[in-house]
Amino acid sequence: SIMPSYKLTYFDGRARAEVARQILYLADIPFEDVRISLHDWPSLKSTTPFGQMPLLEVDGQSLPQSFAIFRYLAKQFGFSGDSPFESAWVDALADQHADYFREILPVLLTIWGFTQGDRMALVKEVATPARDKYFPLLEKIAKDNGLNGHFVGDSLTWVDLLIAEHVGSINQHLPGFLSAYPSVIKTVNKITSTPRLKEWIEKRKETTF
């Protein structure tokens, strides 16, 4: 059978597209990594199903919404857990992460330079409460999973990639912000030292977000 062609379109950043790039790279699947400038985005917006990026095209068929893209690729290439229950836990953790991400997003948007704001105040009033709600849960999950380098089960899943990418971004912009969560950090370090993922991270372009 002929391998389908994959095209991923997003801004020139990691944020909501990076996990898809990583899954494709880990699975050794060639893909077109299209990066749109902020300047060109308004004219493309109306051509996408939901007026949003990232967008995955599989043989020309469009799929929007980052988590739908991640789940689709993870199922295709074996990154969604080793059983239906594990896969449901991966989803649950990803949904929990999404709730937290929504809370912390105003801070990230300021840090990334998309919005103006008092960074110190935002970190104190928005980022810290969001972190203090979510990261203790993650710390316990990492410990309960035996500190085996994964948040769910004992194989690499897309939620590992999702959390590791976010933690990397936080460490890039707010060093020390997560230092109270050693089990999370230890787990993320194991994830990012997966040889092929490490290779991707080392050769990818440095971006702000």
- Compute CA 102 distance to the chain's CA centroid, rounded to the nearest angstrom: 13
Place of tokens 């919005």: 115
CA–CA distance, 11 with 32 (Å, rounded to integer): 13
Burial class from Cβ neighbours inside 10 Å (0-12, 13-18, 19+) for residue 128 reads middle
Per the annotation, the verdict on 112 as an active-site residue is yes
Out of 6, 14, 16, 134, the active site residue is 16
Q: Are 132 and 104 a contacting pair, CB within 8 Å? A: no
Which one of 112, 119, 200, 204 is the catalytic residue? 112
Active site residue 119: no
What are the residue ranges of helices labelled H in 63-153?
66-77, 84-111, 119-122, 128-144
Active-site residue, 204 included: no
Question: Which of these is catalytic: 10, 89, 134, 158?
Answer: 10
Alpha carbons 182 and 136: distance in angstroms, whole number: 11
Residues annotated as part of the active site: 10, 16, 112
